Amino acid sequence: MQISGKLAKVRLLSLSVLLGLATLTAVSPPAAAATDLDVIMQYAPSVYLYSTDIYRPAIAKDFVTRSKLRWSHDQGCADHQLASRGNVDIAKLGNGGYRHQTANSWPGCAHHDQWYTTTAYTRPRGGVVSGEGFFLDLDNTARRGVGRTAPVVYEYQAHQFVAYWFFYAFNDAITTVADHEGDWERVTVRLDANNHATQAAYYIHSGYCTLPWSAVASVDSHPVAYSALGTHATYPTGGGHDLDRTDQGPRWSTWNNLLNVRDQPWYGYGGAWGEVGETSESTGPVGPSAYKAPAPSDWNKPC
Ligand SMILES: [Ca+2]
Ligand SMILES: [Ca+2]
């Protein structure tokens, strides 16, 4: 009887071990695949801002709120205002809800021909209408931005790339002829079929350069970038680069505040982010939109 009792205990024990294993198996999650958001957060850059740069990261939505929306005419014709400061409808900006017509100096700056909406590529320098187009004229006292609390907007194509757009309200160029309001910069990470990083592209003035991921300095998988004093050109290494200067000022942990660019009401606006200067360099740029490629066309441009 005693033996039977022991056997019963052993059997009970075995059963409980088996049940325990079954329970363990049931509660252990399967190896989790990285979600899209995991990938986007994982590769969001760690950006060193320049220590004494007064033009810190800015919030695009606030830039719109503190701007007038105007149409720049050429041939000596006066500009026209579509919305005053504080009254630009950000959704209309992004869905083409504002429109305006070109004008010729003769006769009398009369408007004529084609109408354009805010989703057309209408940056007054370089857009589809030579010399005319929409622009946001920022309150000059709002050029300094807010700093590292500003969001970074990302543009993501699974298995291809994730672009991280950095926005500053003013580009303080090395020569003042290239100063301009509105400054969109970016780092783009190339992804393979498994959504693993293979390369990074750093945008520098009107161009970019690329590095294999193995050569990218990173902190916990976040690529390190250096934002140059005033121009915010984005470099993979510190120190001087031609006329640009970088240092290890405040570190912007961009993964703390990421927004999908396609969810932004202003996305699609094809005019200038900033007032109009004499040249393309001194005019606000076009922002993230169909008119500004988020990723390189050529990934073979070594830094
Ligand atoms: Ca202004
Ligand atoms: Ca810039």
Nearest by Cα to 295 from 183, 217, 187 = 187
> One digit per residue, pLDDT tens: the chain, 303 residues?
344 444 444 444 444 444 444 444 444 555 667 899 999 999 999 999 999 999 999 999 999 999 999 999 998 999 999 999 999 999 999 999 999 999 888 888 999 879 999 999 999 999 999 889 999 999 999 999 999 999 999 999 999 999 999 999 999 998 888 999 999 999 999 999 999 999 999 999 999 999 999 999 999 999 999 999 999 999 999 999 999 999 999 999 999 999 999 999 999 999 999 999 999 999 999 999 999 999 999 999 999
Nearest by Cα to 183 from 123, 252, 230 = 230
Gap from CA of 231 to ligand 2 centroid (Å): 4
Which ligand is in closest contact with the Cα of 275? 1
Structure tokens at 221: 């998988």
pLDDT on residue 31: 60
Gap from CA of 200 to ligand 2 centroid (Å): 19
Gap from CA of 273 to ligand 1 centroid (Å): 10
Return d(Cα 69, Cα 87) in angstroms, integer.
9
Q: What contacts 4, CB < 8 A, 6 or more positions away?
A: none
Return d(Cα 109, Cα 101) in angstroms, integer.
11
Q: What contacts 216, CB < 8 A, 6 or more positions away?
A: 197, 200, 223, 224, 236
Residue entry with tokens 């049940």: 19
Gap from CA of 11 to ligand 2 centroid (Å): 74
What separation, in Å, do the N-terminal and C-terminal C-alpha atoms of the chain show? 82
pTM for this entry: 0.88
For residue 278, report the phi and psi dihedrals to the nearest 5 degrees: -70, -30
Annotated domain spans of the chain: 1-31, 32-303
